[in-house]
C-alpha cells in the first residue's frame, strides 16, 4: 500500500510512464482522498446515513491527515467527546460561575443606579 516506504527516495519521483499500465499501483492514500472526497456527487437510491459517512470520513481523515492538521481543517469532534474534554468541562463550570457573578454584580449596579435616580 505504500509507495515510498522501504526504498530510498529519489530526488524526483515521476511515475509518468508507470502509472498508466502500472507495475506500481497508486497509493491507497491517493485513491481514497479522490474517490471519497472528490468526484461528482449525485444522490442515488442507496443513501448511506449521512452521519455514518461523516464519521467514516472523519476516521479516514484522521488516517489521511495528522491530528493537528485535522484540527486545522476544523475536524475537532474529540473536543465534544465527554471522555476527552474533562478539562474543558471544568472551564465551562468556571465560566458559568463567572457569568453568575457578573450578573450578580450588574444586578447590584442596576439597583445602585435605581437608588441614585430615585
Q: Which of residues 68-97 bind other proteins (CB under 8 A)?
A: 69, 73
State in angstroms the smallest separation of the CB of 58 from other proteins: 12
Cell (9 digits) for 22:
502500472
Q: Is 12 in the site for other proteins (CB under 8 A)?
A: yes
Among 4, 92, 100, 101, binds other proteins (CB under 8 A): 4
Piece in contact with other proteins (CB under 8 A), picked from 26-34, 82-90, 95-103, 104-112:
26-34
* Interacting residue with other proteins among 23, 50, 54, 65 (CB under 8 A): 65
Residues touching other proteins, count (CB under 8 A): 50
Task: Please tell me the distance from the alpha carbon of residue 66 to that of residue 74, in angstroms, as a whole number.
Answer: 12
CA 86 to chain centroid, in Å, comes to: 19
Q: Which one, 44 or 118, has the nearer CB to other proteins?
A: 44
First to last CA, the chain: 80
Touching other proteins, residues 33-62 (CB under 8 A): 33-36, 38-49, 52-53, 56, 61-62
Supply the DSSP symbol for 8: P
The kind and range of the H/E element at 41 are none
Amino acid at each position: 500500500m505504500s509507495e515510498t516506504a522501504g526504498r530510498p527516495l529519489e530526488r524526483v519521483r515521476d511515475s509518468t510512464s508507470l502509472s498508466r499500465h502500472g507495475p506500481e499501483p497508486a497509493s491507497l492514500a491517493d485513491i481514497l482522498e479522490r474517490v471519497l472526497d472528490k468526484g461528482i456527487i449525485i444522490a442515488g437510491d442507496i443513501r448511506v446515513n449521512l452521519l455514518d459517512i461523516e464519521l467514516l470520513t472523519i476516521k479516514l481523515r484522521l488516517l489521511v491527515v495528522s491530528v493537528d492538521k485535522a484540527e486545522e481543517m476544523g475536524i475537532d469532534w474529540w473536543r465534544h467527546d465527554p471522555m476527552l474534554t474533562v478539562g474543558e468541562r471544568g472551564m465551562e463550570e468556571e465560566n458559568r460561575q463567572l457569568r453568575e457573578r457578573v450578573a450578580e454584580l450588574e444586578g447590584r449596579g442596576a439597583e445602585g443606579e435605581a437608588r441614585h435616580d430615585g
